[in-house]
Structure 1
Amino acid sequence: MKKALVFGATGFIGSQLLPMLLASADYDRVTIVVRRDPGVTHAKLVTLVGDIDALPALADRIDADDVFIALGTTKAKVPDEAAYYRIDHDYPVRAAAVAQARGATGVFLISAVGAKAGSSLFYLRTKGETERDVIALGIARTHVFRPSQLLGQREERRPLERLSIAVWPAIDWLFVGGARKYRGIAGVDVARAMVRAASDGAIGVNIHEWADMKALASR
């Protein structure tokens, strides 16, 4: 039996990932680090309230084999680039490092298609630098998930994103060959792919794009 640690458990993917981990026979404890207690109760669940600044104080209460990182924000919520970078880069990297120090041998990170540390686009550069720095930690089982358009119902009101989600199925067929990685994928499928990848035990750095995530989710 393993112990899971989740950052971003109240977000779009994390909120779908959490019940899967709680239901999984692979884990006897699931710890979540959240800014606000979501009010979820379960015999396996341990809820720690904190953020990036609270991690040093929370470290002694963390015990993990696998760490799942589904952290992130939007420019609409955090227009300041320094603050955005702190949430999308600094927090995931620090979370992975703390988990590694507390025994984690597997890290499962949500990134984005097109992530590249040298990108001229701030968003893709941030995601690429996050991948680079998490990979550099040398955690034995490192899995990076790169979805494109995330499909599914969100609690937040995002009119432009809702429009994109509505029209995406109509253009999905245009993405063929190497462009298939830009196809839309349901948030629940990304969450399921993370859980399946964690159960595989594959060693090394593993990058999962659309086709791989769909294959993992369908197993």
Structure 2
Amino acid sequence: MSAEKKGKKALLFGASGFVGNYLLEGLLNDPDYEQVTVVVRKDLNISNQKLKVLIGDYHSLPDLKNEIVADEVFIALGTTKKNTPDQKTYYQVDHDYPVLAAQTGKEKGAKSVFLVSAVGPDADSSVFYIRTKGETERDIIAQDLQHTHIFRPSMIMGNRKESRTLEKSLITIFSVINPLFIGPMQKFRGIEGKDIAKAMLAAAKRPAGKLKVYEWKEMHALL
């Protein structure tokens, strides 16, 4: 009689964010996962027997290592210029923390990493945002996990808890012009935050090579 197959253990960073919240919900409801560990700055006030909450951030993550076991690490970290105007702090949240998260996940057993990035990253760009995304991708790939999945959404659509007037206006515009992005321009189509999370969870169930990049077309195909 064969031993009962054990479920996977997921490690999630950014669970309190827009995409991360959908990821957390999906992981907790997925029978393939027996444990979901989240690293957050404050308690999420969610009660679930599969959920393990670790209070921490970039600075305290090394102290939490002993409490982490993971098969897969999901990274949905990020900030905005409005919330983090200082470029050094922004870089720490958008680059240093995701790279440390991937490194920590690998050290604690993770074979796969799933990263929310952005469309058009370029480590050689003169534009800070694009360069930061490019350097984050480059340095997470360099962690050399068995499987690296990178998701590159353009405009992330959906109803957020926090009020972002400009973003709401852009989402309205994107909902109208989305069909105009065809061919090579498809990657600039807006996508719902919940659909990014769905695509990430679907990708985790599929065989993958060393590196897989998902733009709008590839994410949409997983829905």
TM-score (norm 2): 0.96
Partner of 1:111: 117
Task: Pick the aligned partner of 2:33 from 27, 33, 40.
Answer: 27
Gaps of 5+ in 2: 1-6
Task: Pick the aligned partner of 2:101 from 95, 103, 106.
Answer: 95
Partner of 2:153: 147
Cα offset, 1:201, TM superposition: 3.2
Q: Which stretch of structure 1 is more off in the superposition, 187-196 or 199-208?
A: 199-208
- In 2, distance between residues paired with 1:35 and 1:198? 26
Task: Pick the aligned partner of 1:131 from 123, 132, 137.
Answer: 137
Task: Pick the aligned partner of 1:187 from 193, 217, 222.
Answer: 193
Partner of 1:73: 79
**Alignment of 1:198 onto 2:214:** no
Gaps of 5+ in 1: none
* Residues 14-45 of structure 1, C-alpha deviations (whole Å, 9 max, x = no match): 00110110111111000000001110110100
Q: Give the percent of matched residue pairs that are identical in Structure 1 and Structure 2.
A: 52
**Alignment of 1:211 onto 2:213:** no
Secondary structure of the residue that 1:199 maps to in structure 2? coil
- In 1, distance between residues paired with 2:75 and 2:90? 16
CA contact (8 A) 1:26 1:199 kept: no
Cα offset, 1:75, TM superposition: 0.5
CA contact (8 A) 1:141 1:201 kept: no
Secondary structure of the residue that 1:161 maps to in structure 2? helix
Task: Pick the aligned partner of 1:60 from 40, 50, 66.
Answer: 66
- In 2, distance between residues paired with 1:203 and 1:170? 36
- In 1, distance between residues paired with 2:63 and 2:210? 30
* Residues 24-78 of structure 1, C-alpha deviations (whole Å, 9 max, x = no match): 1111000000001110110100000000111111000000000000000000111
Partner of 1:49: 55
Q: Which runs of 4+ in 1 moved over 4 A?
A: none
Cα offset, 1:174, TM superposition: 1.7
Amino acid at match of 2:33: Y
State the Cα RMSD in Å.
0.7
**Alignment of 1:162 onto 2:164:** no
Cα offset, 1:120, TM superposition: 1.6
Q: Which stretch of structure 1 is more off in the superposition, 60-69 or 192-201?
A: 192-201
* Residues 68-124 of structure 1, C-alpha deviations (whole Å, 9 max, x = no match): 000000001111111100000000000100110000000000000001111121101
Count of matched residue positions in the alignment of Structure 1 and Structure 2: 217
CA contact (8 A) 1:117 1:129 kept: yes
- In 2, distance between residues paired with 1:10 and 1:72? 11
